[in-house]
Amino acid sequence: MTLQPLSTYLATTLLLLSCVTQVSAQDVTIFAQDGTFSANDTIKVDIVTIGLDSMVSGEFSLGWDTLLLEFQGIDNVDEEIQDHLNPVFNRTQVDSGRVGFQIIDFGLQNLTSRDTVVIFSAVFTSLVNSNATTTIGIIDQPLPTLFGLLDQSQANTTKLSGTITLEQSTSLQNLGLDQRLTVSPNPITSESVLEIELSYASRANLEIIDMSGKLCRKESVQLSVGDNRIPLQVESMITAGTYLLRLTTDREQLVRKIVR
């Protein structure tokens, strides 16, 4: 389902932000909170607004580096905002590192009673296991940044990016064997196959990571109850050496060392 521009919804509620001719003195600031995370952890970035208590509608977009982060959704939605947040995100540009959100009170009441609100936490996973610095930006694609008042005027908006620091997991070098995962033959050849027996079915991500933390390959696989056999793509391991094979299911993460 494609999320329509905010003006499409506001036309039915007399909140035509796209037709605003009067500029309000009211100010709104929206920003992504800075944070430091382990590159192996789930990354939750708080999206914060100041001045939202006078607003009846708003829309904005988030942007990120698709080489470092993968968007998973949102969490910890504010209780007052929850009923006003359009649950259908504008995902038309997610592959390009952009996603849009809308907040509308069709009852023409203020979105919240508080001046400063953490709207929600944007959830990402890291695509690298190495030290890196990146930003989560408040941007104008696919949806522009607009906040509207009851009198149909538009707030003055300040947008601030958040700096996200990723730190390589210190446990990477010490990860050992998981006995449920077997790879044969190992050292790896073009005939190598991963085998695992599970008591549940799950979608999973299969990753090959070198010992510096660089992600060499990632693919999605479907695992079934019982024995599973997955051919390995040896061409993703360009140089000879030790690699980590990481299998992340809906329930757990399994790791095995392999040699090229």
116, 23 contact by CB (below 8 A)? no
Query: Is residue 53 classed as helix, strand or coil in its secondary structure?
Result: helix
The reported pTM is 0.60
**Rg of the Cα trace of the chain?**
23
Indicate the residue type of 7.
S
**pLDDT 10s per residue in the chain (260 long)?**
445 555 444 443 434 344 333 434 588 999 999 998 887 678 999 999 998 888 888 999 999 999 889 999 999 999 889 888 887 788 889 999 999 999 988 777 778 878 889 999 999 988 876 788 999 999 999 999 999 888 778 889 999 999 999 886 645 444 445 667 888 888 888 888 999 988 889 999 998 888 777 788 889 999 999 999 999 887 777 788 888 888 888 877 788 888 87
Tell me the torsion sign for CA atoms 206, 209, 214, 217.
negative
The two three-digit tokens of residue 175, written as one number: 């990860």
Domains and CATH numbers, the chain: 6-167 (2.60.40.680), 172-259 (2.60.40.3080)
pLDDT score, position 4: 52
Count of beta carbons in the 10 Å neighbourhood of residue 239: 8
Q: Within 13 A of 126's CA, how many CA atoms are on the CB side?
A: 27
Q: What angle do CA 43, 63, 155 make, to 5 degrees?
A: 110
Q: 60: closest CA among 178, 226, 52, 219?
A: 52
In the sheet that holds 215-223, the strands lie side by side as 215-223, 202-210, 242-248, 253-259
110, 53 contact by CB (below 8 A)? yes
CA dist., res. 26 & res. 53, Å (int): 11
Please write the tens of the pLDDT for every residue from 76-85.
999 889 888 8
CA dist., res. 149 & res. 56, Å (int): 5
204, 223 contact by CB (below 8 A)? yes
Long-range contacts for 82-86 (Cβ within 8 Å, ≥24 apart)?
Answer: 84/111, 85/119, 85/120, 86/3
DSSP lists the bridge partners of residue 242 as 259
Classify 73 in phi/psi space as left (phi over 0), alpha (psi -120 to 50) or beta.
Answer: left
Count of beta carbons in the 10 Å neighbourhood of residue 43: 24
DSSP lists the bridge partners of residue 103 as 58, 85
The two three-digit tokens of residue 123, written as one number: 């959830």
Q: Which helix (H) or strand (E) holds 243?
A: strand 242-248
